Amino acid sequence: MTDTSTKKPSSGAAKLTVGTLIVMNIVAVVSLRGLPAEAEYGLSAIFYYLFAAVFFLIPVSLVAAELATGWSEKGGVFRWVGEAFGPRLAFLAMAMLWIEVTVWFPTGLTFGAVSLAFIDPHQTFDEALAANKFFVLGIVLFIYWLATFIAFKGVGAFARVSKWGGIIGTIVPAIILIVLGFSYLFSGQTPQIDLAWDQVLPDFSNFDNIVLAASIFLFYAGMEMNAIHVKDIDNPTKNYPKAIILAAAGTVAIFVLGTLAIAFIIPQSDISLTQSLLVAYDDMFKWAHIPWMGPIVAVMLAIGVLASVVTWVAGPSSGLLEVAKAGYLPHWFQHTNKNGMATHILLVQAVLVSLLAVLFVVLPSVQAAYQILSQLTVILYLIMYMLMFSAAIYLRFSQPQRARPYRIPGGNAGMIILGGMGLLGSLTAFLFSFIPPAQIAVGSPEVYVGALIGLTVLFVLLPFVVYQIRKPGWRDPDSDFALFTWENKGKAS
């Protein structure tokens, strides 16, 4: 492959439409695989989803819209945190985003493997295959490497896969799930949950419920991820916030209604984090006398996983490439192909994902590995979110004159309230993430917590070490990464 690391991507790069960006955001955020975890709460899942939407999704969506349109230069979260707190913490934020998504890939892809296992109409065989660690590992590796090669093709290619794969594999299956689930209820069938209004408010005396429910905050994570593409859409000042807000509304609707649809069908005692969604589809199709739809939806869900992975492969890696070219990573990581994609960063990520995926073979059960990696993802991502919310609040006061085409309503008080809600929600979820959930077998609680703490410390220290050893010669002379505002002021003085 020809080294084009010092060349700029073609100026003829495809533009993203508002509709494409809405779908990309929904696909980046919505994963139907997480619905069974919240279906355990029955009707109280509504409270958790709405609570997390108010204290996390809305703050993330609006804060990201202000930051992305106010500081639309390249860099994404690196730019935003760097404007507030300097490049050291900015590099930490960018590293957390890239590392957490690398850790997340095996868990997200596990759902794709389970989906493919349910193509066969014999459910007993399906469940056995879905629990087979070697089958899961093979599918995880196949889908991830396929997604990586699609990302090599550039913005136009992965945007098309993300859009149409998201429609086919996430949005359409979500509609099917919701329509059939509520049809089951309205036809007079007995739901597996109590539908009394007093069930909407959860039992706050049960601490175990609160611990597992804290992870719902990260169901909404990712709305800021596509901010890296703010310059890839026409009229970003108007269209980017519009896409964010519409995607947020669609996300809440899919999560709430989809979770209830599963809860209507699957008894709480039978819920499995990796298989219950497919079992719910199977049961719904048998009830509706269309069992032949099971394999079709299984393939669609696998396509949705591919679309989600392509979106997440391309976004953070593109952001890390800009940071690398600005002088924060060696030249080897700055290598790009003719489509302007960060091939070496993508390959390093693919190797790391492959190694992590082996955990599904080594650990006692697929579900135990799934939970450990999922919680580590939550912890690392929340570190980035705490930095992002803190930066947004700080910048309102440190750069009050900065042109912000989109501003959170309510002036500085509005930013303090919304940003503060997001920061407090992120901190709370961060602390709860280290507590083993009683509903899931994780082996020794001490080993579980120790592993999470150790890995968190390791991944937080790593970017500080890289930042400390960086060299001036790492900066790409052709990099168009703009100086931070405070750097320009320093030169002017």
Fold (CATH) for 18-473: Amino acid/polyamine transporter I (1.20.1740)
pLDDT of residue 9: 38
Scan for tokens 């990520």, then name that residue.
349
Q: Which of 298, 274, 50 is nearest to 177 (CA)?
A: 298
pLDDT for res 279: 78
In which region does residue 58 sit, left (phi positive, over 0), alpha (psi from -120 to 50) or beta (all else)? Answer: alpha
Tell me, what's the pLDDT at 85?
Answer: 96
Residue 478's pLDDT is what?
85
Q: Under a CB-based contact definition with an 8 Å cutoff, are residues 422 and 56 in contact?
A: yes
The token pair at 475 is 């900066």
Specify whether the CB–CB gap between 22 and 236 falls below 8 A.
no
What region does 167 belong to: left with phi over 0, alpha with psi -120 to 50, or beta?
A: alpha
Around 142, how many Cα atoms within 13 Å sit in the side-chain half-sphere?
A: 12
What integer pLDDT is reported at residue 269 of this predicted model? 65
Residue 199, burial from CB neighbour count under 10 angstroms (0-12, 13-18, 19+): middle
Per-residue pLDDT of the chain (493 residues; tens, 9 = 90+): 333 333 333 444 457 788 888 887 787 788 777 787 777 777 888 888 888 888 888 888 889 888 988 888 888 899 999 999 999 999 999 999 899 888 888 877 776 777 676 666 555 555 666 567 777 788 888 888 988 888 888 877 777 887 788 889 888 999 999 999 899 888 988 887 777 777 777 666 766 666 656 667 777 887 776 666 666 777 776 787 788 888 888 888 888 899 888 888 877 666 665 566 777 888 888 888 998 888 898 888 888 888 878 877 877 888 888 899 999 999 999 999 888 888 999 999 999 989 888 776 666 555 666 677 778 888 999 999 999 999 999 999 999 999 888 888 889 999 999 999 999 989 988 988 888 766 555 567 787 788 889 989 999 999 999 999 999 899 998 888 888 888 877 665 5
DSSP codes joined into one string, 249-308: HHHHHHHHHHHHHHHHHS-GGG--TTTHHHHHHHHHHHHTT-TTHHHHHHHHHHHHHHHH
Assign 16 to helix, strand or coil.
strand
CA distance 259 to 114: 18
| pLDDT for the residue numbered 267 | 75
3-state secondary structure of 223: coil
Q: Residue 2 has what pLDDT?
A: 34
